Amino acid sequence: MSETRTGTTPHARATDDPDAGTVPRPRPGGRSARVRAAVHRAVAELLTEGPAEHLTMPAIAARAGVHPTTVYRRWGTLGELLAAVAASRFSGDLVVPDTGSLRGDLEQWTADLATDLTDPDSIAIIRAALSSGTEGGCACTTERQEQLASMLDRERSRGGAAPTVERALDALLAPVYYRALFTPAPGTPDWARSLVDTLLPRPA
Amino acid sequence: MSETRTGTTPHARATDDPDAGTVPRPRPGGRSARVRAAVHRAVAELLTEGPAEHLTMPAIAARAGVHPTTVYRRWGTLGELLAAVAASRFSGDLVVPDTGSLRGDLEQWTADLATDLTDPDSIAIIRAALSSGTEGGCACTTERQEQLASMLDRERSRGGAAPTVERALDALLAPVYYRALFTPAPGTPDWARSLVDTLLPRPA
DNA sequence: GCATTATTGCAGCGATCGTTGCGTTCGGGT
DNA sequence: ACCCGAACGCAACGATCGCTGCAATAATGC
């Protein structure tokens, strides 16, 4: 059981935790993984149910069916826990498409991103992670920036021209995240696709 | 004394509180205003000094030289207080420029906006307000959206063509806020000015 | 100037938070 | 199958939070 998603957030993802079996950590055994999954799920659930102020360490522990001491010892601060949850939630959940053309890739990827941020779960986690310093905020976007960069690089290796990562960030990532955070309506996939037109020269 | 800024955040602003004398509130007398100013300033100060987790009602009251009960009674929740502080901080602090051309207006306004968000104070307030629901987040941007709309409307009344408010939001506001929130380096005024090129057709 | 009333200060309360020391249980290697 | 050590549960502590009586103060209208 590697963080089975029990219905609260039906969200497609490829791998659940990035560094699960890579580094030979002291003891990534069955129970530790189980506890971590329960705690992560508890954070997500409490974040959707009530306001962020009620998200406290004992509450998380109670929801997860775990003793509060465990949560304190493993994660230390609520901020670190939120950063960990955010990193786990926003890594490996989107796959970079390969439609053959840069435009197609970007359109599909941006639409997927916008759809992903439709989930109130995601928005709540981003908000909470942001409140705990820059690290938590970066945890929500670094993976996405890398994916964007990889698509642009692939186009260049094809021999085509591609804009800067910086400009792509400003044109695609920034609007999607801005809408999700600052407006009640997160933005539709069609709108997200149209963002690509502002980045790439028109098709022909 | 209407929230005299005592050095902690040297920030130019036009009016301090928008709805100060409009509605005949029960008793906006001298002491109430003084207390509110002290509390607002205390929030800003504590937000820059320590992490957001230590921002608690008694701490704010102590810093403001006010009894905690006062803060509880006037604002109720920490979230409401943060929303109020954010609304007060981000209203009337930027003036819409009038350079004669839409491009010039947008360039200067966006650069001003980016400079404004360089202040760690502002970023901390945005982060904190965001964590308390959508209302607090909107409080940071509604005024800016209106300013942007007014500039575009003015260009149209001049007879010129102007892009949609939606597109201007995506091209200008979103990148600036995104950088301020999710990256360690908030973005320079020159970069902000260059954003206008992605929105408007090149000068000639 | 004086009465009225919103607003603040004060003291104290229950509840919860965050931490620590120690015993117990479970996972991993031989 | 065994042992070792990491991870967890348990109980208790001090500190702080959030709230609610009641008294005092100061701003407004006459």
Between the alpha carbon of residue B195 and those of residues A195, A199, B145, B179, the distances in Å are 14, 11, 16, 13
Nearest in space to B193 (alpha carbons), one of B122, B132, B105? B105
Provide the pLDDT for residue B14: 38
Please provide the average confidence, as pLDDT, over all residues in chain B.
Answer: 84
Residue B4 has pLDDT above 60, yes or no: no
Which nucleotide in the DNA or RNA is closest to residue B29, CA to C1'?
D27
Distance from CA of A141 to the nearest CA of B (A): 7
Nearest Cα residue in chain B from A179: B174
pLDDT 10s digits, B54-81: 899 999 999 999 999 999 999 999 999 9
Residue B30's pLDDT band (boundaries 50, 70, 90)? confident
Q: What is the pLDDT along chain A (204 residues), one digit of tens a residue?
A: 333 333 333 343 433 444 433 344 455 667 889 999 999 999 999 998 888 888 999 999 999 999 999 999 999 999 999 999 998 988 877 889 999 999 999 999 999 999 999 988 888 899 888 887 777 777 889 889 999 999 999 999 999 999 999 999 999 999 999 999 998 888 899 999 999 999 998 765
Section B82-97 average pLDDT:
87
pLDDT of residue A61: 96
Closest residue in B to A141 (Cα) is B182
Q: How long is the CA B67 to C1' D25 vector, in angstroms?
A: 14
Q: Which residues of A touch B56 (CB under 8 A)?
A: none
SS3 at position B167:
helix
CATH 1.10.10.60 maps onto chain B at 30-76
Rounded Cα distance between B169 and B178, Å, is 12
Question: What's the pLDDT at B204?
Answer: 58
**What nucleotides of chain D have any atom within 7 angstroms of a protein Cβ?**
6-11, 16-21, 26-28
Residue nearest to nucleotide C10 (CA to C1'): B67
Confidence at residue B113, expressed as pLDDT on a 0 to 100 scale: 94
* Chain A CB contacts of B137 below 8 Å: 127, 181-182
What per-residue confidence (pLDDT) applies to A27? 52
Q: Which is more confidently placed, A126 or B25?
A: A126
Predicted pLDDT of residue B203: 60
pLDDT at residue A50 in the model: 83
Report how far residue A120's alpha carbon sits from residue A52's, in angstroms, rounded to the nearest whole number: 13
DSSP, res B79: H
Q: How far is the CA of A49 from the C1' of C15 (A)?
A: 22
Per-residue pLDDT at B104: 95
**A30 CB neighbours strand D below 7 A:** no
| Rounded-to-integer distance, Cα B47 and Cα B8, Å | 11
What pLDDT does residue A51 have? 85
pLDDT score for A154: 95
Q: What tens digit of pLDDT does each residue of B127-177 get?
A: 888 887 667 677 789 889 999 999 999 999 999 999 999 999 999 999 999
Q: Which residue has the tokens 């920030």?
A: B11
Provide the 10 A C-beta neighbour count for residue A51: 14
B30-76 has CATH 2.60.40.650 classification:
no
Q: What is the structure's pLDDT at A22?
A: 37
d(CA B177, CA B191): 13
Determine, for residues A52 and B131 on separate chains, whether the beta-carbon distance falls below 8 Å: yes
Residue with CA nearest C18 C1'?
A: A72
Q: Is nucleic acid strand C under 7 Å from A57's C-beta? A: yes
Q: What Å value separates CA B166 and C1' D7? A: 52
pLDDT of amino acid B70? 96
Please identify, in words, the CATH class of the domain defined by A30-89.
mainly alpha
Spatial distance from the CA of B58 to the C1' of D16 (Å) = 9
Residue A160: how many other CB atoms lie within 10 Å: 11
Query: Helix or strand or coil: residue A162?
Result: coil
